Chain A
Amino acid sequence: MDRIFAAIFTPEFLFSVIRVSTPLILGSMAALICNRGGMLHIAFEGVMLSAAFFGMLASAVTQNIILGLLGAVAGGLLISMLLGYFNLVLNSDRTLTGIALNTFASAGTVFALYLLVQDKGTSSSLPSLVVPNIDIPILKDIPVLGTVLSGHNALTYAAFLTVFITYIIIFRTPLGLRIRTVGENPNAAASVGINVMKIRFITLAISAVIASLGGAYMSMGYLSWFSRDMIAGRGFMAIAAQNLGAALPLPSFLASLAFGAVTALANVLQTLNMPSEIIQSLPYVATLIGLGFFGYAAQKSGRKRTKAILDKARAAEGEKS
């Protein structure tokens, strides 16, 4: 037990929380935007996986980080635009299409990987470029705080920034107002001449760009290669995080950090010779517990509120008579 606490109460642990939270933060912002626009889907897993693969490929081929990131975004957009086409144009079921695209991305990337490097596991023989880490001047010299917050991957800082940008887009721009309108009452949007399908495609596209950065982080930061199914459920955890955050940017960000903390904890415990099968399931168990607790708390506070309102009303009646 002591060894565990010793491992957790260190600046290095908090640093790793932020490190593993990065794809969850980006993923949850992407899911949040889709949710606001009434387009929440389950293909973030596929979007991020495709982005991770194309990020690796583009950066390895061009030896240029920017082009690598653009490749990742293109890879993510590919999946999400396919989803848009099937769901919005051909009227397919969004969940079924999401399942199909997730499996397609999983198998398709392995297939392409094999064609490229004759390996079905990783692209280690075709390493991707890694987005550089950034030391923040002044901050990096502050003890503890510097260790925790400075020296992260540039994409991690981009993730923090995305939380703010998401808030601006959704709540402060005309486009955000339209996204929310389409999400809540598409007929109302159509009746004032808003092109509902266009807004939905834009919603999917913005969200895919953000999720793609999360995918790129996996193969161009967290690791320096692509490996099969490397998103490993993060796309789903991101959906859960924005759900716990009630589709609001800051609470969703905090929920992502919470899931990240559990993942980091699992990583630490693994180094301490705990049975890895159990440890590795921790983040997923945490997601389940999080969702269950959220539902329970909402129900309980609802009941409490009901009682309070009724009591108050009765008291008011009593005074009158």
Chain B
Amino acid sequence: MSKERIKIAEELYDIMPPEYQDLVKKATYGNETRGWKDIGTAKELIEEHSLCAGCPESMAFRYILASLPNPEDTVMVGSTGCTSLVFPHVAVHNIHSLFGNQNAIASGLKRALSVRFPDRTKDVVVLAGDGATVDIGLDMTLQAWFRQEKFTTICFDNELYANTGGQESGLMQKGFVAKMAPVGKSFEKVRLPEIARESGCHYIVQCTVSKPNLIEKVIKNAIYVAREIGPTYLQIYTPCILEIGKNSMEGLQEMRDSEKPSERFAYKEFVSEPAKELLAELAAKEKERKAEAKRQLASQTVTV
């Protein structure tokens, strides 16, 4: 649904619950400069969530939704897992796919949208857990990258199957003992960022959600590159505090500890040459936009 269509029928406006009126009046649809700083002052596109208190995945979800450059023309594709408990509550079009099927669904969707709306930018973003991305759906994930499908894949990596009680996943670290994996993982964490690079992804980042500024930047970069060039991949550490024995308030610290330079979630980025050129071009435009805004502000100040 485009922004112009997100309006309430005048005759029935008064009976709409306030959260829907806010969605029209205070949400940041159609605002290219939207970002995580709007949280708290604008209407968020996530009404509520049913995740555990202090869940880092809920933080990630809020930052991602706040950072989508074009939410009114974005379709998110989710898969089974904790994320699928949140999707029913977001004000962005979304599809719940079969477990592991998300990148295949997104491929067809992106192609169909390009045919149906040739003159409009439509973004497709896959958001799935590590089980769906790396284990059950690895085939679909890789094949979409091989085919150079133009959408972003985001993996919420919590290093196990949290939603079903803590089974071992391919992204679990070696030696980790989980509730349903009592012997401990016997092989190394799958290096999907490296695999993504070799499979043709143009922009790849591995990080945590401890720094909202950084998350906003990588989300936007990934979407812009996917729009113009080809597949992009983000692997974001969203630890399951329940499954790793942490309390609600310890999620943030867990992410900070895991992103130290020697740790497994140290910031890692790969940008292809065409993507570098595009991002440089966009950065120059952004710089120009900010300079222009500054000039305008200065001229207004002088006038006053």
Chains A and B come from one and the same complex: no
The chain A residues found within 8 Å of chain B, CB to CB, are none
